[in-house]
């Protein structure tokens, strides 16, 4: 498969129309149609269902689109990062969940973009499994992970900040009168929890034999929508501290867990990979920030 043909394929998938795609690509309609037919023949699969007014992707076409997008993104990013002089430019792509540690990282990235205006930054949100997968595929340069992870396959730096677990709840809840929240306080309360923490049994030791009495109403991956659910349902959301500043509501309040529960924050990147100049700069400045 040629990159040019993959770009043709993605344009048609986006436009859902051969004529519009050919106009966008500045190629003739017969040429585009032949390229797509040749691609289907090469792959031995039907990629499109051709209707009267528009075309849609088959299941094989949907699969190819997801992979083609990754291939094109990686190709464009690689081209942008190859420089023949000492000017720092290119792209830096970083994936992370929501955490107090992102303040340090965003400050570093902001300083880099101010010092080197040709640098472009892409931030991707997701949980640890998603970030590691994208890092392994090469669609991320760095990932920021919260919690204990197996890191032997990566280079990594653990930053000084940590995330503290606690409960986010409506301000009129009786539990807000307490300075800390214990497992006993949450028995039979409707809880909203991080799906990743739940899958990793992060609170099993914390609530001990009270685990069967915990009422897990729902789970979340990122906090914004979960905060809306906590406000509207009156549920108790177990989440990190220092994220409420980004909340869409002013009706929630945070109380830390007791015994205290903290998570390390780690920046990781692939081993055996030649880093671009902008990526090298990010690593240097991240290390230097620890001294400041």
- Using pLDDT thresholds of 50, 70 and 90, give the confidence band for residue 245: low
- pLDDT tens per residue across span 169-226: 999 999 999 999 999 999 999 999 999 899 889 999 999 999 999 999 999 988 888 8
Helices 102-115 and 277-291 pack at an angle, to 10 degrees, of 130
Domain 3-81 sits in CATH at 1.10.10.10
Whole-number pLDDT of residue 251: 87
CATH of 164-262, one of 3.90.180.10, 3.40.50.720, 3.40.190.10, 3.30.43.10: 3.40.190.10
3-state SS, residue 256: strand
- pLDDT tops 80 at residue 87: no
Cα gap 179→174, rounded to integer Å: 11
At residue 2, the pLDDT reads 84
pLDDT at 86 > cutoff 60:
no
- Mean pLDDT, rounded, for 100-112: 92
CA distances from 3 to 43, 72, 74, 79 (A): 15, 7, 11, 13
pLDDT of residue 249: 55
d(CA 240, CA 99): 7
Q: What is the pLDDT of residue 39?
A: 86
Q: Which residue has the higher pLDDT, 53 or 147?
A: 147
pLDDT at position 263 is: 94
236-240/190-194 β-pairing: parallel
Question: Does domain 90-161+264-291 sit in CATH 1.10.760.10?
Answer: no
Q: Break the chain into its structural domains and give their ranges.
A: 3-81, 90-161+264-291, 164-262
Identify the band that residue 81 occupies on the pLDDT scale cut at 50, 70 and 90: low
Cα distances (angstroms) measured from residue 153 to each of 26, 136, 142, 192, 265: 44, 10, 13, 32, 17
CATH topology match: 3-81 vs 90-161+264-291 = no
């Amino acid at each position: 498969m040629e990159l040019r043909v993959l770009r043709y394929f993605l344009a048609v998938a986006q436009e859902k129309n051969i004529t519009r795609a050919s106009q966008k690509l500045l190629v003739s309609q017969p040429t585009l149609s032949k390229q797509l037919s040749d691609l289907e023949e090469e792959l031995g699969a039907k990629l499109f269902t051709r209707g009267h007014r528009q075309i849609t992707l088959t299941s094989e076409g949907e699969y190819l689109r997801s992979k083609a997008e990754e291939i094109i993104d990686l190709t464009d990013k690689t081209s942008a990062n190859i420089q023949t002089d000492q000017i720092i430019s290119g792209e830096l792509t970083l994936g992370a969940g929501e955490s107090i540690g992102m303040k340090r990282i965003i400050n570093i990235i902001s300083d880099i973009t101010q010092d080197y205006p040709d640098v472009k930054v892409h931030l991707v949100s997701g949980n640890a499994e998603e970030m590691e997968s994208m890092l392994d595929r090469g669609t991320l340069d760095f990932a920021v992970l919260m919690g204990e992870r197996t890191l032997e396959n990566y280079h990594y730096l653990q930053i000084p900040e940590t995330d503290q677990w606690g409960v986010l709840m409506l301000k009129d809840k009786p539990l807000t009168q307490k300075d800390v929240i214990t497992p006993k306080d949450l028995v039979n309360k409707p809880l909203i929890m991080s799906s990743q923490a739940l899958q990793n049994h992060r609170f099993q030791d914390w609530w001990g034999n009270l685990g069967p009495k915990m009422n897990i109403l729902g789970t979340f991956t990122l906090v914004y929508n979960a905060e809306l659910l906590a406000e509207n349902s009156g549920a108790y959301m177990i989440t990190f501290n220092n994220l409420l500043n980004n909340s869409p509501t002013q009706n929630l309040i945070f109380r830390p867990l007791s015994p205290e529960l903290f998570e390390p924050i780690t920046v990781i990147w692939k081993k055996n990979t030649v880093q671009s100049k902008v990526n090298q700069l990010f690593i240097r400045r991240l290390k230097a920030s620890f001294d400041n």
